Structure 1
Amino acid sequence: MPFLSPDAAAALAALEALESGADPAPLDRIRGIRSLVTALEAEPATLAAVRDALAAEASWEQVADAAGLSPSAAKYRWAGDDAEIAERHETSRRRKRERPSSVPTDLPGESVSEAAKRLGVTPQAIYQRVTRGLLEARTVTLPDGRSYKRVFVADRAPGSDG
C-alpha cells in the first residue's frame, strides 16, 4: 500500500524517469532532485510514521536517530498535535522574516574576530585583553534587538571608520 502523498510520489516518479532516460541535462537533474527533496520535506507520511513510532513506544532518541536528527530537532519538528506544530513553524518563519540575516557593515570598531585576525592573535586573546583593560569593547544593540560585541584597538579610535 503506497504511503507517499501524490506530490512526493510524482516527484519520485519524475526523478526515476530522469534516471532511466538518456543522459539528462545537469540542470534537469538538479531540478529533479530538489523537487523530490522539497516534496519529501513536506511529506505528511513522515509525521504519520513518527506518530506511529511514538505510539509503539519508540523514544524521541530512536525517532531522531531514524530521521538523522538530534532529539531536540525531532521534537521541534514533530512533537504535539497539528495545530501546535503549525504554530511553532509559523513562529519560526515569522522570526526569520523579521530579522535580517546579514551583519551590518557600518558598526563602529571591529568585531572580535576582525581584531584578532588583524593583531595576529586568537579571539580568546582579544577577550582576555578586554578583561584586563588593555582594549576597549562595547556591545552595540540595534533597534531590531540584535547585539554585536565591538572592539576598539588603540590605533583605531572609537570615532574612526571601522
Structure 2
Amino acid sequence: MSFLSDESRLWLARVAELDAAAVASPQSPPPPLDRIRAVRMLAGELEKDAATLHAVREARASGITWEEIASAAGLGAAAAKWRWHGTDAEILERHEAGRKRSARPSSVPTDLPGMSVSEAATKLGISAQAVYLRVSRGQLRAETVTLSDGRTYKRVFPDEAPSS
C-alpha cells in the first residue's frame, strides 16, 4: 500500500515520465514549461499530502525527537514542531491563524508626514541605505515620528532642504 496520496503519485509519475523522455532523447527533451509545471505540481501535492504528517506521528510514537525529525525534513526543530505537532484540528488552526496574520493590512499609519525611507528611495532612484546616508550627512531632511503607543517611524522629506 502506498503512503502517498493518489494526486502525489500521479504527479510523481508525470515527473518520472518527463525525466525518462529527457534521458531517452537528450537532443529533444520535453518542453521546459511542462517540466516546470510537473515539478511544481508535485511539490505542491507533496506539501499538502498527509504522508509526511503520518510519518512524523509514527516517528514521534517510536521515540524520535523533534530535532531528528527537523533534521530529516530540512527544518529547524521549532518549525517542524509548529508544522506537525498536535491533532489535525490544532495543526489546521495554527496554519489558518498564520494565513490570517499574513493577510492583514499593514499597521503603519497612512497619515504620517513626509515619506517612508522606502518611498523616498524609490522617488530619488537610490537605495534605502543611500537615503539613510544622505540623512546622516545632512543632505536630506528626515525626522523620527513617535506615535502615542510608542511606535516610531523615520519620515523623509526629499522636497525640502535640510535644516542646518
Task: Tell me the TM-score normalised to structure 2 length.
Answer: 0.70
1:39 is displaced (CA, Å) by 0.6
Measured in 1, the distance between the counterparts of 2:90 and 2:113 equals: 39
| 1:75 counterpart (81, 99, 102) | 81
Alpha-carbon RMSD: 3.3
The answer to whether the Cα contact below 8 Å between 1:140 and 1:150 also exists between their aligned partners in 2 is: no
Q: 1:98 and 1:7, CA in 2 relative to 1: closer, same or farther beyond 3 A?
A: same
What runs of 5+ residues in structure 2 fail to find an aligned partner? 122-127, 137-141
Measured in 1, the distance between the counterparts of 2:12 and 2:113 equals: 48
Write the letter of the residue equivalent to 1:17: E
The answer to whether the Cα contact below 8 Å between 2:116 and 2:156 also exists between their aligned partners in 1 is: yes
Q: 1:19 and 1:81, CA in 2 relative to 1: closer, same or farther beyond 3 A?
A: same
Task: Tell me the TM-score normalised to structure 1 length.
Answer: 0.70
Write the letter of the residue equivalent to 1:63: I
Aligned-residue identity in percent? 39
Which structure has more relative contact order (CA 8 Å, sep 6+)? It is 1
Aligned residue in 2 for 1:18: 18
1:13-52 correspondence to structure 2 within 5 Å: 13-21=13-21, 22=25, 23-52=29-58
Write the letter of the residue equivalent to 1:36: L
Measured in 2, the distance between the counterparts of 1:32 and 1:154 equals: 48
The answer to whether the Cα contact below 8 Å between 1:139 and 1:148 also exists between their aligned partners in 2 is: yes
